Amino acid sequence: MSSTSYGTYGCKCKKACASILLLWLSICPMAHAHKSESHSLIVANSKAWKPFSYLSPDGEPKGILIDFWKEYAANNQIDVQFLLLDWDASLQAVKEGKADFHGGLVYSPERAKYMDFGAVIMPIQTKLYVNKDVLSVDIRSVLTGEMTLPIGVVKGSYESEFVQTNYPNAPIAEYINNDSMIQAAVDKKVLYFVADLQVANFYMATTPGAGMFVPTISLYSKDLRIAAGMHSATSILEVSRAFEKVIDTDRERILTRWSVVKTVYPLYLFPIAIFIMAVATLYHIFALKRMVALRTRQLTIANQQLLEMTLTDSLTKLYNRRHLIEQLALLNHLKRNLTVMVFDIDDFKSINDRYGHLAGDRAIVAIAEAAKSMTDDRMTLARIGGEEFALVTSSLSEREALNFANMLCKAVYDQPVILGGQAIHLSISLGCAYYPEFTHIVSLQDADELMYQGKSEGKNRAVFQVITDCQLQPALRQVN
């Protein structure tokens, strides 16, 4: 009887042990999977926010913020995967739970509705950048919306939010990322854009043509912070504490990696022989870089001289017709306070016939110098052909334009030119068209017609006309 009981008991024990073993085997993979899942984070950011976050040509995540997160992942044995999208899409990814964290962004009340902000990574400065061609335009009139010149911003960025909040009347043009915004600026589709200082410096150093923009107004200084989405299973406090250790220990090393051109190698790891070879190699690279830099400077100077030749009249050293037309096209965007003048030398053919073509050239140079002495950097003066000149500017009021036309005619006549051994008083006929407000494309035609009207009325005079869209036959004012 006891033997039978013992056998039954032993069988039951074996079955119980087998059940426990099966239960343990089924739980372990789940626990392991849960552990792996809890140590994996998806971090979103922009794919074109150089140097903070971007995709390299081979599709690899790169940038300052990427390096911070990689350091965090290595220090905490966490698998961090990057989801780099256009800026607005990166915010949506966090908002919709497609990403656990945003890699770094500026705090705003709107963003705080769906993200918890954590550790500060680094400060940034943001500025308004302006094309050099429109530096004469009052920037306040652009920010208040008086001038219909759009300001380029990245859609979904804090820059866009800041401009719309603080300058609600300023016209903006939104682009999906910094790459497309900077390219639009280079193509002169926008003459203003807002960007972080580090971002602008990076693009200006690497994008041909981006150097035509200069910073004018510092808009704000803010901190870049990490942020967790509401769907994230990982606490922002936990990640922030670990992230602050990375910032304390590795911040300078990471930032230095992005602020110097040369890579500083840890020479103490190499034997003496390799050290000597490395020094020789670095010296060769340094010498090569110096030579390349010298050739680059020479090429830049040559290109600048070539550009000046294509934009400058060789006789008078004034701008040529091509450059003036380009400037007029830019000023057409302002839609107000545009002055266009066209003038030429009276009886120039008789000067050539009587004194010769060399004397005619001296007369042209004399007129150019007299006119140039009255202009400033806000005005574009050009020789547009033969004895004909033109001037465009947006810096004059109606009264100032009228007075300028008057004084220019007088200045030319009051400065005699020596031709054939005689002091000759040259004169010009000048047409000045002033556009206080306009919606059509302004050309040289109106001013040219006014100039010929001055010739028909006796020469040595200016004819001034205010032209508006609503005036079909504006009144003329003649200056003798």
Q: CA 267, CA 256: separation in Å to the nearest integer?
A: 17
Burial 57-69 (b: 16+ CB within 10 A, else e): eeeebbbbbbbbb
pTM comes to 0.56
Q: Does position 95 have pLDDT exceeding 60, yes or no?
A: yes
Average pLDDT value for residue range 432-460: 94
Residue 246 tokens read as 């990375």
Confidence band for 305, pLDDT divided at 50, 70 and 90? low
Q: CA 129, CA 390: separation in Å to the nearest integer?
A: 29
Confidence band for 20, pLDDT divided at 50, 70 and 90? low
pLDDT of residue 265: 36
- Whether residue 61 contacts residue 50, with contact meaning beta carbons closer than 8 Å, is answered with no
pLDDT of residue 134: 87
Return the closest-CA partner of residue 224 out of 199, 249, 261.
199
Burial 153-180 (b: 16+ CB within 10 A, else e): bbbbbbbbbbbeeebeebbbbbbbbbbb
Q: Looking at 212-226, 426-440, 464-478, which range is the least confident one?
A: 464-478
- Before 51, cis peptide (omega within 30)? yes
What percent of the chain shows pLDDT beyond 70?
84
- Whether residue 303 contacts residue 119, with contact meaning beta carbons closer than 8 Å, is answered with no
Q: Which amino acid is at 467?
A: I
Return the closest-CA partner of residue 350 out of 340, 337, 363.
363
Angle at 400 between CA 396 and CA 405, to 5 degrees: 105
- Whether residue 389 contacts residue 342, with contact meaning beta carbons closer than 8 Å, is answered with yes
Q: Which region, left, alpha or beta, applies to residue 145 given φ > 0 means left and ψ of -120 to 50 means alpha?
A: left
β-strand partners of 224: 106, 122
Selecting among 37, 146, 159, 387, the annotated active-site residue is: 387
State how far the alpha carbon of 373 is from the alpha carbons of 126, 138, 178, 255, 315, in Å.
39, 24, 42, 50, 17
| H-state helical runs in 312-356 | 321-331, 348-355
Identify the residue whose tokens are 């300001």: 151
Q: Looking at 109-113, 187-191, 250-254, 282-286, which range is the least confident one?
A: 282-286
Termini Cα distance of the chain: 141
Task: Express each pLDDT in 378-410 by its tens digit.
Answer: 999 999 999 999 999 999 999 999 999 999 999
Could you tell me which residues come within 8 angstroms of residue 259 by beta carbon, excluding any fewer than 6 positions away? none
Could you tell me which residues come within 8 angstroms of residue 417 by beta carbon, excluding any fewer than 6 positions away? 362, 363, 366, 423, 424, 426
Taking residue 433's Cβ as centre, other Cβ atoms within 10 Å add up to 26
Q: Looking at 94-108, 222-236, 299-313, 420-434, which range is the least confident one?
A: 299-313
> What average pLDDT does the chain have?
85
* Full DSSP string of 358-398: HHHHHHHHHHHHHHHTT--TTEEEEEEETTEEEEEESS--H
pLDDT of residue 15: 54
Confidence band for 34, pLDDT divided at 50, 70 and 90? very low
Return the closest-CA partner of residue 65 out of 87, 86, 43.
43
Q: Does position 26 have pLDDT exceeding 60, yes or no?
A: no
Could you tell me which residues come within 8 angstroms of residue 120 by beta carbon, excluding any fewer than 6 positions away? 223, 224, 225, 247
Confidence band for 304, pLDDT divided at 50, 70 and 90? low
Look up 457 and say whether it is catalytic.
Answer: no
DSSP state of 111: G
